[in-house]
Amino acid sequence: MESREYRKNKHTEFFHKLDKIIFVFSSMNYWVDDNGKPVVYVNAYKRIMKVINAAIVLFMVAELGSFFTQNNLTESQKSDRLMMGFSHIILYSATLSLNHHKETVTQILFTLAVGLKKDFNDLETETLMLKRTKIYACTLVLLCFNSVLFYGVKGLTKVLFSDETFVTMITAWPDVHDRSLLAGVSRVCVYVLSWLWMIRVTTAYLIVLAVTISLSHQYMNLQMYFKSIAEVFDERISQSEKEEKFERALKLGIRLHATTIWCTQQVQRTCGNVFSGHIVVNICVMVQLMSQFKDSDRSLGHVLAILTTFISMLFSTGLFMSSAGDVTIEAGNLPTAIFMSGWQNCTKMSSYRIRRLMLIAMTQSQKPVIIKSFGFIELSYQSYVSIVKASYSVFSYLY
């Protein structure tokens, strides 16, 4: 995509740096600028990533193939095969969904960082947004990588203390009891592919997380804007000039709000499948993990793998649902900010025009802004607790 001219700010610099990181690990470029690398290098790197992506797809197909070829598994391995085989496919679909909506995602990012900031940008809100995004992103990366790391620890523990083979992810070949050198090398390759799979999924989730946090803080930015335009009436100009200036500012605020609503709709369209898939995986994996823990041998490696995966799913879902829930909360605070914009200081005919504009602005802002999964599950703090309870309820019913 060709670069667009824009005024840089902390928001654009952050998205540019995040996009560089995502390009390194996935070859995808979601920001409007290029990554600053030579075209020859970029094209060669993209070809290499296509090979890696094909290998990841074959890895997931091999996991499904294990249901037909691996017949000598322990109960724990059968549970791992079921959990990993289907969750990997569903979670990887997040990357495919974002790739399909790449142009829209780029437009959302550019609108949030540039289009909505050129007329008003509260620096305190922007600083808070950047700080929260960095904390959430680092937490997500740590949680995701820990789960893969401890499955490797679990496999290594089996080799060192139980004289078993190094098995992390169950694939169609080699057999879990095959002790040949070729089988051992292939298992290490499978473990490396599981890391590559996790990196691709994590980069997709970082984009979703950054977009939803940025969107919730844009509603905060709008609140600050509407509150700030009341200062027009403190300026040393005539009453008529104050009213004209206030009217222009109010109309601009209404346009900014309409653009923010558009961003919310596009986030729902582009990220809805990601949220839905993650919730399905969250419930299924947590039920499987609770079942494994109940029946496990309580060895250190096994317990660590179960606990890290459980915590990763629990907290990663919490990060997504809380960031999406913040959009609803901040959008719900907007009507109050609009009402505090100073409209009551207008007089005579100006007051009549302003009241009509206020009616439009208040009506628009009072419509609930809710990001949903499956079209009906509201992403919020309350629904997150309900999903966790539902996972335990399913486990209690089945086991």
Residue with tokens 């740590």: 142
Q: Do 274 and 206 touch, CB atoms closer than 8 A?
A: no
Each residue's pLDDT tens digit, 22-66: 999 988 889 988 777 788 888 899 899 999 999 999 999 999 999
What does residue 378 show for φ and ψ, rounded to 5 degrees?
-75, 130
Cβ-contact 283, 391 below 8 angstroms: yes
241 and 346 in contact (C-beta within 8 Å)? Answer: no
Judge if the upstream peptide bond of residue 174 is cis by omega within 30 degrees of 0: yes
Please tell me the pTM assigned to this model: 0.92
Q: What is the pLDDT of residues 292-307, one digit of tens each?
A: 777 666 666 667 777 8
Q: In sequence order, what E strands does the chain have?
A: 372-373, 377-378
For the chain, counts of helices (H) and of strands (E):
11, 2
Residue 293 main-chain phi, psi, to 5 deg: -65, -35
Closest CA to 233 of 145, 340, 148: 340
CA–CA distance, 265 with 258 (Å, rounded to integer): 11
* Residue 237, CA distances (Å) to 232, 244, 245, 272, 353 in order: 9, 11, 10, 49, 20
Nearest CA-CA partner of 219 in 148, 134, 314, 323: 323
CA distance 3 to 355: 42
Residue 1 has a pLDDT of: 39
Query: Residue 108 and residue 134: Cα distance in Å, rounded?
Result: 19
Q: Hey, is 6 helix, strand or coil?
A: coil
The residues of the chain scoring below 70 in pLDDT are: 1-4, 295-302, 395, 397-399
Helix (H, G, I), strand (E, B) or coil at 397: helix
Query: Please, are residues 32 and 3 in contact by the beta-carbon 8 Å criterion?
Result: yes
Alpha-carbon gap, residue 229 to 243, rounded angstroms: 11
Instruction: Report the alpha-carbon distance of residue 125 to residue 330 in Å, rounded.
Output: 12
User: How far apart (Å, rounded) are the C-alpha atoms in residues 48 and 38?
Assistant: 16
Q: What are phi and psi of 345, to 5 degrees?
A: -85, -10
Task: Return the SS3 of 116.
Answer: coil
Query: Which string of DSSP letters, residue by residue, matches 231-259?
Result: GGGGSSS-HHHHHHHHHHHHHHHHHHHHH
- Are 314 and 363 contacting, i.e. CB atoms less than 8 angstroms apart? no
